[in-house]
Amino acid sequence: MNSVDANELIVVKGLVKSFGSRRVLDDINLTVRRGEILVIMGGSGCGKSTLLRHLIGVLKPDAGEIWIDGEPIAKMGDEGLEKVRRKFGMLFQYSALFNSMTVGENVALPIREHSCVDEFIVSLMVKMKLELVGLTGFEHLKPSEISGGMRKRVGLARAIALDPTLLFCDEPTSGLDPVTTAVVDTLTLDLCRKLGMTAVVVSHDMASAFRIASKMIMLFEGKIIACGTPDEIRAMDNPVLKQFVHGEADGPIPLRLSKGDYLKHLIG
């Protein structure tokens, strides 16, 4: 680009991606401005993680372009991508912590990988990040010795270890109870404000989505069928969106498995 507007941190134009004969993303157009928290919603298998993987450059589109902070990444090679990725923090569905390492070593990983500061500074940075997520004093424990909610917070501490401009989270609260979900959400919001981060969060937890989003999109059959602030989304009269937001079984969102398939899936 030719970045038109320096406030547009992510710009996606005409993004198309198919796997085999299935077009998972079909002409996606999207802008995320600095300071926004974009929540990507949609049913299971609708392409949320696929979209996120394009934004971090792990997947290449069949067509379309993606600009991150003014850099076109869709056709970028590994070296260029590595540079752009230094601006990213990432938190994935199962926290992806290394079980053989302590909490502190997990948070230190990106610091050791991307900078050459000495060990004293590394341990200071780890302590600061753990303090930000409310886990002071837990650095010597292993992930298996802390709760699921705490593991997510460690994942968050690791994601923000290098003070990223952009935070990507795929289902950061999946598997957590509603109270722990609210704690992780509040923390994410707090961190974005304190560190001036912009975030893209995939979620199908509606309470969580409405709590953290400044902007929301809903994916359905490869397209963005709704885009707006939480208040705008609540007010929209789209049957797919309504079914999803209210978690109703009846509506335009199809049940993917037939009864026979489901039985086969259960009994193997």
Ligand X SMILES: Nc1ncnc2c1ncn2[C@@H]1O[C@H](COP(=O)(O)OP(=O)(O)OP(=O)(O)O)[C@@H](O)[C@H]1O
**Residues in the site for Mg ion, rule: CB under 5 A?**
49
| Helix (H), strand (E), coil (C) string for the chain | CCCCCCCEEEEEEEEEEEECCEEEEEEEEEEEECCCEEEEECCCCCCHHHHHHHHCCCCCCCEEEEEECCEECCCCCHHHHHHHHCCEEEECCCCCCCCCCCHHHHHHHHHHHHCCCCHHHHHHHHHHHHHHCCCCCCCCCCHHHCCHHHHHHHHHHHHCCCCCCEEEEECCCCCCCHHHHHHHHHHHHHHHHHHCCEEEEECCCHHHHHHHCCEEEEEECCEEEEEECHHHHHHCCCHHHHHHHHCCCCCCCCCCCCHHHHHHHHHC
46 binds, among ligand X, Mg ion, none (CB under 5 to 8 A by kind): ligand X
Per partner kind, with CB cut-offs from 5 to 8 A, the member of Mg ion, ligand X, none near residue 61 is none
| Beta carbon nearer to Mg ion, 49 or 102 | 49
Residue 239 contacts ligand X per CB under 6 A: no
Using CB distances below 5 to 8 A depending on partner kind, what does residue 129 bind out of ligand X, Mg ion, none? none
Q: How far is the CB of 220 from Mg ion (least distance, A)?
A: 15
Q: Which does 47 bind (CB under 5 to 8 A by kind): Mg ion, ligand X, none?
A: ligand X
Q: Per-residue string for binding with ligand X, 183-222, x by CB under 6 A?
A: ---------------------x------------------
Q: Is 19 or 98 the residue whose CB approaches ligand X more closely?
A: 19
- Cβ nearer to ligand X, comparing 30 with 132: 30
73 near ligand X, judged by CB under 6 A? no
Residue ranges in contact with ligand X by CB under 6 A: 19, 24, 42, 44-50, 204
